[in-house]
Structure 1
Amino acid sequence: MNIRLGLIGAEDNLGLIKSIVDEYPEFNCLSFEHSGEEELVEHLEAHSHHVDVWLFSGFLPYSTAIKWGKTSQPMYHTPYTGSSLYKTLYHILNNEQIKADELSFDAVHSSELNTIFDELGMEYDPAFLEEFIDESDIENSQTYLEHYKKSVEKFVQHHYDLWNENHTKAAVTCVWAVYTELKRLGVPVFRVTPANSAIKSVLNIIVRTHEMVRFRNSQIAVQMLEIDPFSGLSEGVFSSDEISNIEMRNSQKLLNYAKKVQGSLKTSGPGRYVIFTTRGEIDAITERFTIVPELEETLRIGKQDVTCGIGIGNSAYDAEINAGRALLNAKEYGEGAWMVLFEDKTINGPLGSAEKISYSYASAELQGISEETSLSVSTLGKIKSILDKWGKSEMTAHELAQQMQIMPRSARRIIVALQTKGYVKVVGEENPFPRGRPRKIYRFSL
């Protein structure tokens, strides 16, 4: 196994991390030094096709790369907590005339500092710590450049204010840019660098994860496609010969597509085709099961004319069964829909849709409700996923119909079946129009 590792780090610890990476025969390492956010993105843009996985020397370049959002490779960063933080504090307490409670910190969690100070038999002022804001807390409008710069500015200001007002005697930072700026401002500062054990720990995680991904990508994947046999007919022409010609042309196009995904093709009745390939190939062409491939270019067939179910399994039989179930679910959404059913019985789709949902076929809880109500686990799973995405448990029959892409009368039939067994109850009404009939609001408890 040879893993192409892209290592991006600041000048003070890049060599250290690289020396430990070189101890691992599993890695072929390409290292890149960066001193700011623009260099970081330049490296990612220029070398993403040359690496399998990225390792960042710190959390800030790592989170900036996530914010940038244009890298498909897995990403990791070396931790600065635990042994790394202990190493820095040991140096300060043994070599400097500074006490631990005279230091300001950034980017570590308060629980980490609490543990360290408890073991030292000391208390620390929470105001001396500036924690890092998780990616989920950052405003969506903020670009990756603003994210990087504002994080550095926030940490620098935190340390400088405490030192300037004589609350602290020195700063401890995990960020190279913060370290260099504080030195320029004359603030005594110490840089947390990753401990050897921390670096080895993340490298071991990368190796194990890569093995798992490689195994997952070799799983069998089956695509079951239905193509409208009348989509290529001229208006008013429905001869059996013309339909047969279209079938042969579609078969030839699908043979080319099967070659593109390293698969084999077989027909399974009029207008239905099955392609056997691997999960890795389908993962790539659908961009991790998020989009429908550009069929117009590959097959010269419109997307709306091809309905597809993708099944993943540990055997060809399991994958084909899952593909059939996925196709049935895709057809419920209409022509052109693509759904995927994974080996853990989680179904996802329609691919490429803003209303994409994910739910489980294997929920024991939903299976019990299915037996009580005669509704399928698939239908119940869709409702539960819609409610989770909706963010609340109340909706009208009209809203349920819109979300499930079914007729309102079908939605009402589902609600009645659930209401009869106590899984739905009326909690209010709404008037959508001044003269319209009030719509009942139902609360679901699945």
Structure 2
Amino acid sequence: MAIVGPADSVSLAYAVALERSDILSPQGIVYQDAAQVPEIMRARCPEFDMWLFSGIVPYHYALSVATHKPLFYLPHTGSSLYRALFEITYIKNLKLHRISFDTFSQVEVEETFKDINLPLPTIYVKPFSDVASAKEFANHHYELWQAGKIDIAITCFLATYEKLKELGVPAFRVWTTRSNIRTTLDVAINSCLAQRFKGSQLAIQQIAIDEYDNIVRASSSYNVKRMEMCLYKILVDYAEMLKGSLVSRGDGQYTLYSTRGILEDSTHELTVIPILEEISCQVKGAVSGGIGFGVTAYDAEQNAFHALGIAQQKGKGLWMAVNDEREVIGPLSSAVYLKYSVQADAAACKQMADQLNLSVTTVNRLLAVIDKLDKDTIGAEELAVYLSITSRSARRILTILVENGLAEFAGEEMLAKGRPRKLYKINLQLLLEHLHHED
């Protein structure tokens, strides 16, 4: 575990982390400014299984770095205020009349005084925001003090505390409590172990040539063998990529065994299948696949067959996945869309997802679907099938794209029964430009 923050916070968290030395190997990394966090992480990310930050500000900087490593921060909860208030009243013998706070919300400060049965003084609160900095917080406290509105400033940041002391402002620093550190460490350890367990789960892929019996009847046995040999060569390379094992079950059917962690990395969290483009170009026939995860080999195998069945019901050449919670994911796209999944920065994709009020996975899969369909118009029902969501949810996504100028209503399609189906034209180029602009 990397413990990142200013020297005093790192020292305290490191001392508490040593209590868990049976399972945890902590290492402190001290910075002078929280803005150094992205640089630190990019240089040292491979060294650690997880990262713990001294507060929400360095944690916020860490979110801008693309990583699958678990990230945590030490919360400055209401209980952390008790220590500062105790120091003010019982050690320094100061009165709690007019105080400014940062990071905490108004409600947290009010509840803290209520919990310890103290009258609420005049308070000024500047909550944390994404763009806040230690310098900005220092200016906030100093301006209030200069205007004669406060007698005491309470801050969660070492840099803010030191600046206020330099300016002559009576300042006190909030430290996270040892109890909070222990609780956060428990959460971090359990989360890391769960991720490690999940990553080591068995992943089984059931792969089949679609309509194999019809192909055998319509073609010579030599052509069928050539098709199978061509597919087998692709699958052998795929198995090597996944460090897995490939078994041919005959009649155009194959089983590939690997682990969940490697598979999810290779498929960009189940958004693309890297061999689909190669299969479509080289194999003279559609090939479907089903991915199954499970705690036991039996569960993983059953989920894989279930995923393959769903893929073949939906059409030809589709790949689906069923996880250990029986959730269906897919269809998965081809790796041809690396222009968004690799070249686009993960943080930029997250910004785009936040702006559209969608998950990053949904944005990735939406782009993959558009690429796979090879057309720019789509209806909500069709999108729902490809994203494995309800038609209502698909309509919501399309409405969001329209509202953001990334899609437009393209008319209606008359159906044999029922009301006409609305079609939407998605501007893929604009969508990609929007993504890279965020970057």
TM-score (normalizing by structure 2): 0.70
Give the secondary-structure state (helix, strand or coil) at the position aligned to 2:77. coil
After the TM superposition, which of the residue ranges 204-213 and 312-321 deviates more from structure 2?
312-321
1:103 aligns with 2:99: yes
What's the CA shift for 1:381?
4.5
Mapped partners of 1:380, 1:307: distance in 2: 17
Residues 308 and 339, structure 1, Cα contact 8 Å, conserved in 2: yes
Mapped partners of 1:429, 1:305: distance in 2: 29
1:204 to 180, 186, 189: 186
Residues 257 and 298, structure 1, Cα contact 8 Å, conserved in 2: no
2:151 to 149, 169, 174: 169
What's the CA shift for 1:165?
0.9
Tell me: CA distance 1:38–1:104, structure 2 relative to 1, closer, same or farther (3 Å). Answer: closer
- Number of the residue aligned with 2:39: 42
- 1:163 corresponds to which letter in structure 2? W
2:365 to 349, 356, 362: 356
Mapped partners of 1:348, 1:265: distance in 2: 23
Mapped partners of 1:169, 1:207: distance in 2: 41
Structure 2: state its 5+ residue gaps. 213-217, 334-361, 367-383, 401-406, 425-439
- 1:206 corresponds to which letter in structure 2? A
Mapped partners of 2:202, 2:147: distance in 1: 64
Residues 229 and 246, structure 1, Cα contact 8 Å, conserved in 2: no
RMSD of aligned C-alpha atoms?
3.9
1:264 aligns with 2:272: no
- 1:195 corresponds to which letter in structure 2? T
What's the CA shift for 1:339?
2.8
- 1:315 corresponds to which letter in structure 2? T
Mapped partners of 1:301, 1:122: distance in 2: 77
Tell me: CA distance 1:430–1:276, structure 2 relative to 1, closer, same or farther (3 Å). Answer: closer
- 1:14 corresponds to which letter in structure 2? V
Mapped partners of 1:430, 1:286: distance in 2: 32
1:283 to 264, 267, 272: 264
Report 1:279-428 matches (<5 A): 279-293=260-274, 307-330=288-311, 337-351=318-332, 354=363, 356=365, 381-387=389-395, 389-390=397-398, 416=418
Residues 83 and 197, structure 1, Cα contact 8 Å, conserved in 2: no
Mapped partners of 2:42, 2:423: distance in 1: 53
Tell me: CA distance 1:100–1:294, structure 2 relative to 1, closer, same or farther (3 Å). Answer: farther
Structure 1: state its 5+ residue gaps. 139-146, 231-236, 358-375, 393-398, 417-425, 433-446
- Number of the residue aligned with 2:163: 181
CA deviation string 1:97-117 (max 9, x = no partner): 433342211111333212211
What's the CA shift for 1:272?
3.6
What's the CA shift for 1:334?
5.9
Residues 220 and 313, structure 1, Cα contact 8 Å, conserved in 2: yes
What's the CA shift for 1:47?
1.0
1:215 to 193, 197, 206: 197
What's the CA shift for 1:199?
0.8
After the TM superposition, which of the residue ranges 242-251 and 27-36 deviates more from structure 2?
242-251
- 2:120 corresponds to which letter in structure 1? E
What's the CA shift for 1:129?
0.8
CA deviation string 1:160-211 (max 9, x = no partner): 2211111111211112232233334332221212211111111111122223
Mapped partners of 1:310, 1:385: distance in 2: 24
- 1:108 corresponds to which letter in structure 2? F
Residues 179 and 190, structure 1, Cα contact 8 Å, conserved in 2: yes
Residues 295 and 301, structure 1, Cα contact 8 Å, conserved in 2: no
Residues 219 and 314, structure 1, Cα contact 8 Å, conserved in 2: yes
After the TM superposition, which of the residue ranges 15-24 and 35-44 deviates more from structure 2?
35-44
- Number of the residue aligned with 1:436: none
Report 1:54-65 matches (<5 A): 54-65=51-62
Mapped partners of 1:16, 1:192: distance in 2: 13
1:273 to 251, 254, 257: 254
Report 1:430-445 matches (<5 A): none
* Same amino acid, percent of matched pairs: 31
Residues 257 and 299, structure 1, Cα contact 8 Å, conserved in 2: no
Tell me: CA distance 1:39–1:110, structure 2 relative to 1, closer, same or farther (3 Å). Answer: same
1:160 aligns with 2:137: no
What's the CA shift for 1:40?
1.4
CA deviation string 1:22-71 (max 9, x = no partner): 221211122211112442122101111111110001110001111x1312
Tell me: CA distance 1:298–1:188, structure 2 relative to 1, closer, same or farther (3 Å). Answer: farther
Tell me: CA distance 1:226–1:200, structure 2 relative to 1, closer, same or farther (3 Å). Answer: same
- Number of the residue aligned with 2:437: none
What's the CA shift for 1:223?
1.6
- Number of the residue aligned with 1:254: 235
Mapped partners of 2:186, 2:6: distance in 1: 22
Give the secondary-structure state (helix, strand or coil) at the position aligned to 2:19. coil
TM-score (normalizing by structure 1): 0.69
What's the CA shift for 1:280?
2.1
Size of the alignment, in residue pairs? 363
1:12 aligns with 2:8: yes
Residues 65 and 71, structure 1, Cα contact 8 Å, conserved in 2: no
Residues 8 and 34, structure 1, Cα contact 8 Å, conserved in 2: yes
Mapped partners of 1:268, 1:384: distance in 2: 40
Give the secondary-structure state (helix, strand or coil) at the position aligned to 2:72. strand
Mapped partners of 2:176, 2:396: distance in 1: 40
Residues 326 and 340, structure 1, Cα contact 8 Å, conserved in 2: yes
Tell me: CA distance 1:378–1:184, structure 2 relative to 1, closer, same or farther (3 Å). Answer: same
After the TM superposition, which of the residue ranges 191-200 and 180-189 deviates more from structure 2?
180-189
2:225 to 244, 247, 253: 244
Give the secondary-structure state (helix, strand or coil) at the position aligned to 1:100. coil
